Copies of this chain bind each other. A is one copy, B any other.
């Protein structure tokens, strides 16, 4: 049963729009295997028709009027990636009125007009999905809304603005002041020319509004978020905070505290040993504390073309799964449709490539190390580092530690058996695999 692909109308061909087109195209097969049918952008609207684009528009009709898309009977899902309130709000409401599902990355729209939009969607029986509106690609909406549904959530605290986090990381690592760290962020494309929305905490407040609502079951109320930017933070504060064992991060904090809900975005000292203190640069992370699960953390890229597209496409897959399958078959047990499970072979360990840590005991005399490194060389194994220790009070053998570069397990096994055969080497060579996880 080859269902016909779902037609998506895409509004906005900027960074995220382009990323979405690229991801849908590149991973078309993978996505169809998961969703149960193809997802294709058939029509798109762009502000600037003549811009050079980093993606192919093949098979996509370029339209001028956004309302032509939301009124188009062929379009089943409207993907709103233009941002801002006007005309996004009217476009989304019209799409809903026309019975179309909506996927949006628009945090301002959801934070400010979500109550109205969701009420309209509920009446019309359509889905408005907005995973991309908070923390980019990190599936934090899904985690809180579904994955932690058994918890009374106590605290949500997140690094949810990559620009601020980049600036504060840069200030700490380079000792630079706010102005020059901001310039560096702008140079690298991590901040807009007008960075106020980021550095004054408005963007984080939009996201926090949404997180608090789904965590605590309260209406969206952006106007009640307390907000303080990072513009006043100086390098001396970062330095003193470090002396005291803290890092300064711009956090969005929502807490279900005695006496009411706390909603606040401000620079915050957090203990340097806390996992979230190690989140550097443009990365985002959200800590959620629930009464059953305790602390749990979600980390990933909070912005950028493809990370944000990752969330947009996940929402598209979610909507398509809901449109296509019975509820109990909505998500295939093993993520991919049963007929689409592929039998890629599993490698034998012999063929796996990793770097290695080796520890062995060898007689401490000239030439022994040369013999060992010669054996490694014969197996194409490059050495990254060697530690040779002093002998333990009169022991004949000294520990020697090697860190090697990546090589097939087969070669390493061969090398180890030859090294163990050396007279100057005592006992077994102990090896642990090394992974950079990059």
Contacts and interface: CB of A to CB of B under 8 A. Distances in A.
Interface stretch (A48-56, A67-75, A134-142, A362-370): A134-142
Contacts of A257: 347, 352-353
B296 A297 contact: no
B300 A299 contact: no
Name the prevailing secondary structure of the A interface residues: mixed
Given A246-B434, A287-B437, A430-B232, A34 B149 contact: yes
A27 B26 CA distance: 43
A243 B150 CA distance: 43
Nearest to A285: B297
Given A298-B298, A342-B218, A213 B433 contact: no
Contacts of A341: 217-219
Interface stretch (A187-195, A305-313, A413-421): A305-313
A218 B343 contact: yes
Contacts of A307: 292-294
Interface stretch (A80-88, A120-128, A175-183): A120-128
Interface stretch (A7-15, A197-205, A325-333, A371-379): A325-333
A421 B248 CA distance: 27
A338 B312 CA distance: 24
Interface in A273-308: 274-276, 278-279, 287, 290-301, 306-307
A152 interface: yes
A165 to B, nearest CB: 14
A152 B276 CA distance: 27
A399 interface: yes
B333 A114 contact: yes
A334 B214 contact: yes
A385 interface: yes
Nearest to A337: B217
Interface string A15-39: 0000100011011001101110000
A170 to B, nearest CB: 17
Closest 9 CB pairs of A and B: A139-B147, A150-B313, A296-B300, A217-B336, A137-B293, A260-B347, A293-B310, A322-B327, A214-B335
Interface of A: 19, 23-24, 26-27, 30-31, 33-35, 101, 114, 118-119, 121-122, 125-128, 131, 137-139, 142-152, 155, 157, 213-221, 224, 226, 232-233, 236-237, 240-241, 243-244, 246, 248, 251, 253, 256-257, 259-264, 266-271, 274-276, 278-279, 287, 290-301, 306-307, 309-314, 316-318, 322-323, 326-331, 333-336, 338, 340-347, 349, 351-353, 355, 357, 359, 385, 387, 399, 401, 403, 430, 432-438
